[in-house]
Amino acid sequence: MKEELIIQLMNRCGIRDQIRKIEPVSGGLMHRMYKVETEGGNYAVKHLNPIIMKRPDALANYARAEKLEETLQAYDIPIVPAMVIDGKRMQKIQDEYFYLFRWQEGEITDWKHIEEDMCTKVGTILGKIHAIEPKEGENQSFAISRTDWRDYILKAKEENIPIASLLEENEDLLCYAQNELNRARTLLPAIMCISDEDMDPKNIMWDKGIPWVIDLECLDYGNPVSHVLQLALQWSGIITGDFDVNKMNAFFKGYLQAYDNGFRNYSDITGVAYTWIEWLEYNMQRALGACTDEKECELGISEVKSTMERIRYIREIEFELKTALQMIAE
C-alpha cells in the first residue's frame, strides 16, 4: 500500500523516471521515511504520521513551518528543504500527506560519536537562525504542565502495559520534574525568534564535514533561551547518559558567536532540561492505544522506557548541570 502511494506521489510530482527501489529509512520517531531510487536520481519521501495529521491545528502548523523554511533558505541557512510542486510543499495522496526531498548525501552521526567541533558548528547554525528575526518583549506562551501521572499509571495497569511499574516507581520524580519545568519557564526572558527545537543529532546530515539540517517540520517561533539550552544538553550527552561539559561549552561557543541576546542565567533555568516529560506523555498516549498501528504502540512503549531513563539521569546530574551552566555567565 505504501509503495503504491509513493508511486502515485512521484507521478503527481512529475517524476516519471523508472523506480528501481523503495526502501524504509530509519531514524524518525514520529513519521515514516523512505528512500526512492530512480534512473534519474534519488529522493527521500516523508510520510506524515496520520495520527498527527488528525490534530485540528496540524495543517496550520505545517503551513507555518513551510513559510519559515522559505525564510531560512533566503538567509542561506544550510537546510534540506522539501520540493515545491505546483506551488505546494506538502502533497496529499488518498487522504495521506507527504513531503518529497531530493536525496541529500551524507551521514547522521551516532549519538555516542559526537565531537566538540560538531557541537560548535551546529550551535553556530542555531545561532544564525535565532538571529534572523528576534523580537524582544515577546515571549512564548507555555502552557502550565499539569499532567496527572497517577491517572496514566492506573490506565497502564488496567491495560496491562509493561511500563506501569516503571511509571509508578518514578511518580515522585515525574511530579518534581514537572514542577521544575514550570518554574524554569516563568524565568525565561521575553524574547521570541524563529527556531527549530528538533535540531538534535538525528536531524543533522553531515556531508564532508558540512552539517545540513533536515526534518524542518518543527520550525516555529519560540524562546531562544529555552531552545538553545535544550539542544546544547542533547548535543553534550544527555540522551546517552554521558554528559560532557566540554561539548556543551562548544555548542554555546558557536551559538553565542552567531547570536547573543545577553542572557546568561542558564543555571537558574536548569528545569528546562525536564522538557522531556512532554515527550514522555506523548508516548504514554501512544502506548495506551492512541494509535491503531501496532508498531506505533510498540514505539511508544520503547520511547517511554528510554525517556524515563533520560529524566532519571538528568535528576542524578542536576547539580553538575547547574554548576556547568554557571560557567556560561563567566
Q: Residue 273 is part of a domain; what is its CATH number?
A: 3.90.1200.10
Is the pTM higher than 0.85? The answer reads yes
Count of residues making up the chain: 330
Pair 154, 299 in one domain: yes
Pair 121, 92 in one domain: no
**Look-up of cell digits 520540493:** 83
For 119: left if phi > 0, alpha if psi spans -120 to 50, otherwise beta; the answer is alpha
Question: What pLDDT, on a 0 to 100 scale, did the predictor assign at position 20?
Answer: 86
User: Number of folded domains in the chain?
Assistant: 2
Per-10-residue mean pLDDT, the chain, length 330? 82 84 77 89 91 89 94 96 92 92 90 94 98 83 82 91 92 97 94 94 94 93 96 96 97 97 95 96 85 74 94 97 88
Pair 226, 322 in one domain: yes
- Which residue among 65, 84, 103 closes a domain? 103
Greatest Cα pair distance, the chain, in angstroms, is: 59
Pair 193, 57 in one domain: no
The CATH number assigned to the domain holding 32 equals 3.30.200.20
Pair 229, 299 in one domain: yes
- Which residue among 71, 103, 135 closes a domain? 103
**Look-up of cell digits 547554525:** 125
Pair 199, 64 in one domain: no
Pair 127, 48 in one domain: no
C-alpha angle 304-308-314 in degrees, rounded to nearest 5: 145
In this structure, how many other beta carbons lie within 10 angstroms of the beta carbon of residue 63?
Answer: 11
Pair 149, 220 in one domain: yes
- Which residue among 103, 124, 156 closes a domain? 103
Range of the domain at 221: 111-329
Pair 28, 174 in one domain: no
Pair 247, 299 in one domain: yes
